[in-house]
Each structure stands twice: as structure tokens, then as C-alpha cells.
Amino acid sequence: MADITKEQLITSAPKKKEREPVPKLTGKIKTPKIVTGAASHYKCHVAKPEVQEKLGFPGELVDNWQEAAIRRMGELLEKYKSLQVYMDICVRCGACTDKCQFFLGTKDPKNMPVARAELFRKVYRRYFTREGKIFGKVAGAVDFDLELLAEWYTYFHQCSQCRRCSLYCPYGIDTAEISMAAREIMDSIGLGQKYVNEIIGKVYEIGNNLGMSGPALQNAIEFVEEEIEEDTGIPVKLPMDVEDAEVLLVTPSADFFASPHIESLVGYAKVFHQAGISWTLSSTASEAGNFGMFIGNYNAMQKIASRIKDAIYELRPKRLIVGECGHAWRVAYQFWNTLIGPFDTLNPKYPRPQHICEFTNDLIDKGALEIDKSANDEFVVTFHDSCNVARATRMGDKPGGQFDIPRELIKKVVNKYVDMPAETIREKTFCCGSGGGLLTDEIVDLRAKGAMPRMQALHSVMETHGVNFMALICAICKAQFTKIMPMYGVPMETAGGIHQLVGRALVLGAKE
């Protein structure tokens, strides 16, 4: 490893092997004995030069990468004071060590949040602290060489930025922010991750993560309309680019194409139709997701979010509602006002933006929708709190609304609901294992191991209560669990959206 070259670093992703066995489902989550280097072979593919350059980054690792990386680190430390604080205040108390799903699943000690962050701190101490400059390794400081850069690339792409570790840190150190900073530094020297950067490029060029053009979107919408009418006999429409509608719905593009995501799109459409509320989708703002957050790049986040601002000015809606997507809701809730706000043209009577679960829950409370819960009687339902929603946002006007509103909504459309064990839900929820830009096939074995804690919790209620449906409000969670569940022997149909359940229970035509 010490003799690693740039070429070896960039081509170090291992050849495809047989699938690794997943952990046995017992219903219990145990802290494992550490296995040094157990996750060192999971490496995301590196972005090609043309992908990097499309985003404004160097196409490949620059010759003076060390100098450029240290300079960029200095800029980030100056720009983000929280990052500077996180570098200095860790006391290595160990509170975070067994809180990351990737450590629990892989046993690799470098997936302990404190150890992952230490990869960054070593460089920080060496170049930005007096002790590190004078005493070097004695002060925990090391040169930023290719060997350490390789570890950065490996382990900062084994963090899903779920922030569970920050919940348990007595100082509130947010390892997700450290991971974002590390990825931004690596992008700035020409070492980007293929999956995330390709998707950002598609959004720049076409407008959404899936690369669906306007005509493709229209075809998908017409297909959904035909399916709903064939199923219900009622012509429910999914309007596109309608000016002066009450609501602009921005949802992940996976809702237009993938399964089970599209079932939630059906649910949204039925809600708007039955409530008699005019609404529209936008061919410009056809993606709620914002992968710019995953690489910690403000400019990318702003450029992606600007499509929504453009759609608001072009279509003049009165309300802005976001569909089922975890990190998209975090970006909308935390960052949109800074990135593309203020939303002065929207009606101030309503949240700007508002989550689709809060919107539908309010309509049911007001009697605007008739529900037949028996339509979901084949399901015993549980709910997976998405990490970004749980630990970085809120819904409604009461603390904890991001936990309570989805559960209230589910219980209004199903008769049988049970929560998973308390230590795995609400703010303590585990990531699905693919957030933060990890939803890529070359690391599917890592993703399966990262999903282990959630799968154990799900297994426990499947065994004790007969749960057969896990409701989700995140496009990445839906994609992850439908892929991973069969690896654990659980049917992929066990995963689905909340509005999939809403759509089934909603009685169309029941009210004028």
C-alpha cells in the first residue's frame, strides 16, 4: 500500500466476485468484534474525466494534488466554522463507535465514525495546527500521501451521511459534514465518485436523476393515467406545466418510472384529484433529489435547486409540496430558502415548502378524503424513519412532527400497524445502507451489510407481529430495500411508499 501509484489508486476497485453472504437474521443487533481492513475492498468506481469536467472539476487526479487538497481544506475550514470545531473538540470518548450501521455490518474499525473522521483530522493536524507541524506523528499528524488519499476515497464513500453518530456524540460532532468536506476536497483534485457525479451531470443536462427527457416524462405520466383509469374507471389526471395551479409538486424522478416508487405517484394523484385541488408537475423541476449535498458542493446544490426556482416563476403556483424522498426533503427544508429563496410568491398561509405526508394528513383530518382502511387489510405495516427526515428536518408545527405525522397518516389508511424496536426508530433510526450516494452496484455487498441493523429490526416484528409491509418515504430507501431484501430472504414487495397505502385506501368519487 505504501508504494501505491496514482494509477493503482484510480483503478483499485476490485473485480466482481461472487456475492458475499449477508448476516443471518436473528432480530438482534450486536456490537461485533473488530476485523481490521474488513471493508477495505469496497470501493466505488471513480468518475471518468468527461464526467468530472462536466461538473467543473479536474478530469483526473492533478499532479499537485496534495498542495491543491490542503489548500481546499483550508478554504473549507475558513468557510465552515463548524468543520473547524469538529476537528478540535473530539475527545475520543467512544460514544459513537458502535452507532454506525457500516461498522456494525462490516466490523471494520475504520467505519467507526471517530476513526473515519480521524482520517481527516490527521491531515488537519499536520497542516493546520502548531502541534502537528512541530511534533508530527507524536501529535497524531501525518503527511497527506497517496496511501492516505486511498483510505479517504474508500472510507468516506462508506459513510451514508445519515448523522446517527452525531445523535450520540456528547459534543454533537457531525461526521456527515466531515464526509461531505472530504468528498468536496477529492472532487476538487480530480478524484470524484462515478455514480453521484454522473447523476449530477444528468441533472445539469437533462433535468433529473434518471435522465428522462420531457417526452419520456409525458409518456410515463400518460401511462400512469391509463393505469389508474383502467383500475378505477375514473380519469385521474397528472397535469404537467400548468400555470397558476394551486400546488406545484416536486418529487424524485424515480416516482415516474421505478417500482414501488410509481405507486406513490399514483397515490399523490388520487389525493389531489379527490381533494379537488389544482396541481401540476413541472418538466423543468422534474427532480426533487439533490446529489450536490452528497459531495458537499454548494454550487452544485444551488444549480440543481435553481430548476425549482425557475419553475415557480414560470408556473406561478401558490403552494410548493415535496414528494417522498429523504435527502430531498432535507435539502428543501434546510437549504432551499438559502439556495433559491425567499419564496415570496407562494402563499404564506402554508409551509414553504410542505411535505406531501403533512399535506395528505391535513386533508384527511379536515374530512376532505374518504378512506377505506380495509383496502390494506392484507398488510401488517411498520414504518422506517428515513435518516435525513428523522435527524435533519421537521414536518408540521410541533416538535417530532417528522416522526408523528407519517405514523398518523399510515394509521389513518391501515388497520394493522406496529413499530419496530424503539432503539431503531425515530431519531435513533438506522440508515437503509445506501444513502449519501452509495446506491451503486459495485458496492452492493457493502450496502447489504449496512442494511443489517434495519433488517434485524424488521425481522423482529415480522416474527412477533407478522409484519409484511415496511412503509417508506424515501426514493433511495425504496430502491435499496427492494434490492437488498431478497438477499436476506425477504420479498421485495415488503417495501413500499406511504402514499402507495394511501392510494389503495382512498375512495375515489366518494365526494364531490
Between CA 413 and CA 376 the distance in angstroms is: 7
Cis peptide before 353 (omega within 30 of 0): yes
pLDDT computed for residue 4 by the predictor: 62
pLDDT computed for residue 17 by the predictor: 67
pLDDT computed for residue 18 by the predictor: 83
pLDDT computed for residue 91 by the predictor: 94
Q: Where are the alpha helices (DSSP H) in 233-325?
A: 261-275, 298-315
pLDDT (tens digit per residue) in 340-350: 999 999 999 99
From the list 200, 342, 320, the residue with the least C-alpha distance to 250 is: 320
C-alpha cell recorded at residue 359: 399535506
pLDDT computed for residue 33 by the predictor: 96
HSE toward the beta carbon, residue 42, CA cutoff 13 A: 28
Specify whether the CB–CB gap between 125 and 140 falls below 8 A: yes
pLDDT computed for residue 257 by the predictor: 87
Q: What is the DSSP string of 60-122?
A: S--TTHHHHHHHHHHHHHHH-HHHHHHHHH-----TTTT--HHHHHH--GGGSHHHHHHHHHH
Angle between helices 498-505 and 356-365 (to 10 degrees): 30
Specify whether the CB–CB gap between 120 and 178 falls below 8 A: yes
pLDDT computed for residue 509 by the predictor: 84
From the list 15, 22, 493, the residue with the least C-alpha distance to 263 is: 493
Which residues in the chain land under pLDDT 70?
1-17, 510-512
Annotate 416-432 with three-state secondary structure.
CECCCCHHHCHHHCCCC
pLDDT computed for residue 19 by the predictor: 87
pLDDT computed for residue 374 by the predictor: 98
Between CA 202 and CA 450 the distance in angstroms is: 27
Burial class (CB in 10 A: 0-12, 13-18, 19+), 32: middle
pLDDT computed for residue 12 by the predictor: 61
From the list 482, 446, 492, the residue with the least C-alpha distance to 195 is: 446
pLDDT computed for residue 5 by the predictor: 62
Task: Give how far Cα 268 sits from Cα of 250, 332, 361, 386, Å.
Answer: 11, 18, 12, 19
